[in-house]
Amino acid sequence: MEIAAAGGHNIILIGPPGAGKTMLAKRVPSILPPMTLREALETTKIHSVAGKLKEVGLMNQRPFRSPHHTISNVALVGGGSYPQPGEISMAHNGVLFLDELPEFKRDVLEVMRQPLEDREVTISRAKFTVTYPSSFMLVASMNPSPSGFFNDPSMPNTSSPHEMQRYLSKISGPLLDRIDIHIEVTPVPFEKLADDRKAESSVEIRKRVTAAREIQTKRFEEIENIHYNAQMSSKLIREYCALDDQSKELLKTAMERLNLSARAYDRILKVSRTIADLDGAPAVISQHIAEAIQYRSLDRDGWLG
C-alpha cells in the first residue's frame, strides 16, 4: 500500500472475505501525502458544489469515497438533468474504493476509462457541457472467485472453472490495464490478530511516502501533466527506468516463467521505479524489479490465463 501511495499507482486487493481488504483501503488516505492548499481548495470546491460540506471550512483530509456496487454510471461519473459531480469527482485528490469490483455493472466500469486516463471528466448533454476534475487513486477489492475462496487449503472452492473464468473476465481488459499493483490479501491467523504489538503508525509511513513523492515531483518538473510515476508514458518509462544487465535477465526469466504479457512489462518497470524512489536509490536495480514482479498476480497463469 505504501508503494501504491508513493507512486500514485492504482491497486487491487484480492482475497477471501474477512481478510481485511476494506480495512486496508480505508487507511490509504492517511498515508497519502498531505494535501497542498491548492489541492484542498479544488476538493473543497467540488464538495461545495455537491452540497456536502457540513459546517467544515477547508477540507484537510483527502476524500475517501466507496460507492456501493449498484451505483449507476451517471452517479459514478457525474451528470444528471441538473449536473452534479459524480463519485469520481468527489474522490478528486483522494481515494476511490470500489469494493467487490466484479459486482459492478460492466458498463459502469467502462465509463471510468477516460477519467482514469485524463484525470478529468467531461459531461456533454444536449443543453450543456460541464467538466469536472477527477484525479484520484483507485483501490479495488475482489474475492478470487464467486464463492470467495481460491487456492486456500482450508476452504474448498465451490465454483466451477467456467464460473471463475466468467467472474474474472469481468474486470479484464481496459480497467485492469490501468491497475498497476495486484496484491493477494490472506486471512490473518489468530496469533497475529490477538497480538498487542503495534505496527507502524500512519504518520511514519506518510513521511516516507512524501519523500518519495518529492523525488517524483522534481523528476517530472519539466513535463506537463505528469506528477507521479503512475502517469508515465512508455517513452518516459524507457527514459527513467533504464535497467542494468542483471535486472534485464531477471525480468526476462520472470516473463518467460510466469508467462507475463507485454502489458505487465511496462507496469513492472513503473512500480519498480517507485520502489527505487522509496529506497532513495537513483537507479532501478534487480531487487526492485524482483519486488515489483511479485505484484502482478492477476497476470499469471491460473488466473486470467
Partner 1 sequence: MLVKVYGSAVFGVEATTITVEVHMDKGIGYHLVGLPDNAIKESSYRIAAALKNNGLSLPGKKITINMAPADLRKEGSAYDLPLAMGILVASDQIKAPEIEKYIIMGELSLDGSLQPIRGALPIAIKAKEEGYKGFFLPIQNVKEAAIVAGLDVYGVSNLREVIEFFAGKGTLQPTVIDTRAEFYKTLDFPEFDF
Q: Which positions lie near partner 1, rule CB under 8 A?
A: 26-27, 29-31, 34, 37, 40-42, 44-46, 48-51, 53, 55-58, 60-61, 82-83, 85, 127-128, 130-133, 199-203, 205
Crossing angle of the two packed helices 202-219 and 262-279, in degrees rounded to 10: 110
Q: Quote the least distance from Cβ 53 to partner 1, whole Å.
A: 5
Q: Quote the least distance from Cβ 144 to partner 1, whole Å.
A: 24
Closest CB to partner 1 among 22 and 73? 22
Q: Quote the least distance from Cβ 83 to partner 1, whole Å.
A: 7
Cα–Cα nearest to 111, from 181, 185, 174: 174
Per-residue H/E/C for 49-116: HCCCCCCCCCCCCCCEECCCCCCCHHHHHEECCCCEECHHHHCCCCEEEECCHHHCCHHHHHCCHHHH
Closest CB to partner 1 among 48 and 234? 48
Closest CB to partner 1 among 200 and 244? 200
Q: Quote the least distance from Cβ 202 to partner 1, whole Å.
A: 5
Q: Quote the least distance from Cβ 90 to partner 1, whole Å.
A: 12
